[in-house]
């Protein structure tokens, strides 16, 4: 077994993806995002990396579980037909596969993520 070292969240090692992710639709403002995939398993079912986004609002549909640790920013998550929660830099949380709702990015977000595709 070997340990995989990411870049630092201030200097990722990979080239960013600058298009909106599948399942993320802007609904207010003009948010932009960058995604750095720092590690992917051979079967493509586990991804880790960094993500950042500018203020605005997306409607999201999750097809996979995502563990998030925010380094910077503030956001509000509102589940369709459910509750609203705020998260700030330093928070760690799990968004489960099947979640649909709204990500309102109040302040630029920078996060590390781990995604598991079933």
92-117, pLDDT tens digit by residue? 999 999 999 999 999 999 999 999 99
pLDDT digits (tens, 9 = 90+) for 53-98: 999 999 999 999 999 999 999 999 999 999 999 999 999 999 999 9
Return all residues near 54 (Cβ < 8 A) that are at least 6 apart. 30, 31, 32, 33, 105, 108
Average pLDDT of the segment spanning 28-55: 95
Measure CA 80 to chain center: 18
Cα–Cα distance for residue pair 50/59, rounded to 1 Å: 20
List, in sequence order, every residue forming a beta bridge with 24; answer none if it has no partner.
60
Full set of structural domains in the chain with CATH: 24-116 (2.60.120.10)
Return all residues near 69 (Cβ < 8 A) that are at least 6 apart. 91, 92, 111, 112, 113
């Amino acid at each position: 077994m070997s340990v995989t070292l990411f870049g630092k969240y201030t200097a990722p090692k990979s080239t960013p993806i600058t298009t909106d992710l599948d399942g993320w639709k802007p609904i207010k403002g003009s948010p932009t995002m960058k995604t750095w995939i720092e590690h992917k398993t051979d079967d493509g079912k586990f991804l880790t990396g960094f993500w950042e986004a500018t203020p605005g609002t997306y409607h999201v549909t999750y097809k996979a579980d995502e563990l998030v640790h925010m380094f910077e920013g503030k956001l509000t998550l509102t589940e369709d037909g459910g509750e609203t929660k705020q998260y700030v830099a330093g928070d760690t949380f799990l968004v489960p596969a099947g979640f649909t709702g709204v990500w309102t990015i109040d302040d630029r977000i920078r996060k590390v993520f781990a995604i598991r595709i079933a």
